[in-house]
Amino acid sequence: MNAAERFVKICGEVGNFSERLTGISVVDAYFGPEDFHPKKQSKEKTAIDLVHDIHQTFDALRDEIDDPLRLEYMMGELHSLNVVVDWLDGKDLSYSDLVEGLFHISMKKFSEHEIDKSIKLVTDAMSEFPGDDLRDKIRKYGNEGEITGEALQRLIENELQQRALEIAQEFKNKINSLMGASVPDNGVRYEAVQNEPWSGYNWYQGEFKSLNQFNIDRKFNRDTLAATIYHEYEHHVSNLWREKAFLNSSNLELSIVPLHTGRCVISEGTADTAKDFLQISDDDPRIVVLNAIYPLRRMTGINSAILLNDEGISVDEAVDYMVNRGYRTRESAEASIAFISPTTKDGKINFFAPYIFTYFIGRTNFVLPTFNKAVEQDELVKFYQTLYLNPYTGSSVTWNKAYEWLS
């Protein structure tokens, strides 16, 4: 077996291991040859076996992979998988060791002063909106155009199919045409689901298709739904390019998409920056508000995760924090807690507990500053080519090196 084959095999095995212990596989998507399918890999391996195989794969990668960016990308992914195994095996890791080990970022709480500044921005953005005080204004804003339950389900399963075609066209017009490259796209199917810890999910199916699910237990209004649609659609687009790169290069590791690695930081960062990529106009005052609420929600979400997982506060206290400091309704705070809690309702390790950092850190520390620089220097063509034509740039481990040319 060559190094790339070992890499894909071990991803599948760690996926089977995480599925056994948490109900969720670390493998998010696979579109490679049937023999290397995660389902065909061992489901029995212990943590000791897996760590041993990971170390052998490290050696094989060092011996066989010449492209420095590809090597660094794969080593980073493998390192994260090693941390996944240690974590799920019960090794004594602090929450910050876990977050930093998985995502190659530093974990820090946002100060209450930063949160105050963010609240002030929301207050300013909402000065003309109706309501007694900020909390009342945000509640009214959320209720306006709210879509829930059956109406939401109908919207997702009918109108969104049409909306997806329009968004696909936006990506083609504004990004692909600029890059001077195209990618096959067999479309996205939308589905409404319930009882999931997330609000939306892109399941990339391979053969240039996705299934995008939206959780109808969550409340959406037309603005938050639109933001989620762009986010999930960008995941689809970035996976299309990855599949194309896999077919062109035959680099097997591109056919497997693991969670909880440096890749996720960039993938969630680009998804949270999709509206900027597409230059979606923010003339609408409701969008200005949404853009001001976004950092407040993300920052207080991260702080809640640290309070819960690192400082040991209770779920009720974390809900209070999100309500008081994130200006969420109690219902919305309670709905989002399942994603960040250390354990699930049935007492298992919550696989998603460290994941919340990827979105905001990916956007603010990696993707957005680089994108803004590219805009300033009139280098958007090369920015998109770097991002979408070379999948090895898409990791927190390789990102800065990949954009060194952007001085």
Rounded distance between C-alpha atoms, residue 81 and residue 61, angstroms: 15
Complex with Zn ion: residue 152 or 271, whichever CB lies closer: 271
CB of 274 to Zn ion, least distance (A): 10
Complex with Zn ion: residue 7 or 203, whichever CB lies closer: 203
Complex with Zn ion: residue 73 or 355, whichever CB lies closer: 355
Contact between residue 232 and residue 155 where contact means Cβ atoms under 8 Å apart: no
Complex with Zn ion: residue 82 or 199, whichever CB lies closer: 199
DSSP code, position 35: G
CB of 122 to Zn ion, least distance (A): 23
Contact between residue 74 and residue 396 where contact means Cβ atoms under 8 Å apart: no
CB of 94 to Zn ion, least distance (A): 26
Complex with Zn ion: residue 179 or 229, whichever CB lies closer: 229
CB of 103 to Zn ion, least distance (A): 14
Complex with Zn ion: residue 21 or 271, whichever CB lies closer: 271
CB of 383 to Zn ion, least distance (A): 20
Residue given tokens 């990618």 in the structure block: 183
CB of 261 to Zn ion, least distance (A): 14
Contact between residue 371 and residue 269 where contact means Cβ atoms under 8 Å apart: no
Complex with Zn ion: residue 137 or 231, whichever CB lies closer: 231
Q: Does an H or E element contain 191, and which?
A: strand 188-193
Strand, helix or coil at 384?
helix
Complex with Zn ion: residue 138 or 167, whichever CB lies closer: 167
DSSP string, 101-158: HHHSS---PPPHHHHHHHHHHHHHHTTTS-SSSHHHHHHHHHHTTEE-HHHHHHIIII
* Interacting residues with Zn ion between 256 and 315 (CB under 5 A): 268, 271
CB of 269 to Zn ion, least distance (A): 10
Q: Exposure string (b/e) for 28-61, b if CB count within 10 Å is 16 or more?
A: bbbbbeeebbbeebeeebebeebbebbeebbebb
Complex with Zn ion: residue 355 or 383, whichever CB lies closer: 355
Rounded distance between C-alpha atoms, residue 157 and residue 151, angstroms: 10
* Overall residue count recorded for the chain in this entry: 407
Strand, helix or coil at 215?
strand
Count of residues of this chain found to bind Zn ion when the rule CB under 5 A is applied: 2
CB of 231 to Zn ion, least distance (A): 6
Helices (H), 272-284: 274-277
DSSP code, position 254: G
Complex with Zn ion: residue 72 or 234, whichever CB lies closer: 234
Q: What dihedral do alpha carbons 173, 360, 390, 401 form, nearest 10°?
A: 130
Helices (H), 184-343: 222-249, 262-271, 274-277, 285-309, 315-326, 330-340
Q: Which of 200, 252, 342, 286 is nearest to 30 (CA)?
A: 252
Complex with Zn ion: residue 16 or 273, whichever CB lies closer: 273
Strand, helix or coil at 67?
coil
CB of 241 to Zn ion, least distance (A): 16
Rounded distance between C-alpha atoms, residue 64 and residue 206, angstroms: 27
Among all residues, whose Cβ is closest to Zn ion?
Answer: 271
CB of 36 to Zn ion, least distance (A): 25
CB of 359 to Zn ion, least distance (A): 7
* Interacting residues with Zn ion between 64 and 83 (CB under 5 A): none
Angle between helices 95-103 and 262-271 (to 10 degrees): 80
Contacts of 328 by beta carbon, 8 Å cutoff, 6+ apart: 297, 300, 322, 336
* Interacting residues with Zn ion between 28 and 57 (CB under 5 A): none
Residue 211-250 contact track with Zn ion, rule CB under 5 A, x = bound = ----------------------------------------
* Interacting residues with Zn ion between 97 and 156 (CB under 5 A): none
Contacts to Zn ion by CB under 5 A: 268, 271
